[in-house]
Amino acid sequence: MPAPYCVDDFKEKFDSLYRLVIVGAARANQLSKNEPHGFGASLRADKPTVKALEEVLVDKLSYTTADEEDEHYMEYDD
């Protein structure tokens, strides 16, 4: 069984808990679409939400905000 996660584990990764939930849920949805479904298809440790949180902790998952996208767009708009 995986170790339980604490909100403090993610303080350095995200600026708010709300953003962590949104990004983690989006990644979990992506993962669940690619997994086989059915009886006994995945164990508790292999759940998409757990995988998404693990990806956050090992810096495999990142995000950009709309403001950052606008700034990036404006840089190349010259």
pLDDT of residue 25: 92
Question: Which residue positions in the chain have pLDDT lower than 50?
Answer: 74, 76-78
pLDDT of residue 11: 86
Rounded Cα distance between 53 and 23, Å, is 10
pLDDT of residue 32: 87
Token pair 């993610």 in the structure block, residue? 10
pLDDT of residue 49: 87
Virtual torsion, Cα 11, 15, 35, 2, nearest 10 deg? 10
pLDDT of residue 76: 47
Annotated domain spans of the chain: 7-75
pLDDT of residue 33: 87
**Cβ contacts of 42-48, under 8 Å, gap ≥ 24:** 44/1, 44/2, 45/1, 45/2
pLDDT of residue 45: 53
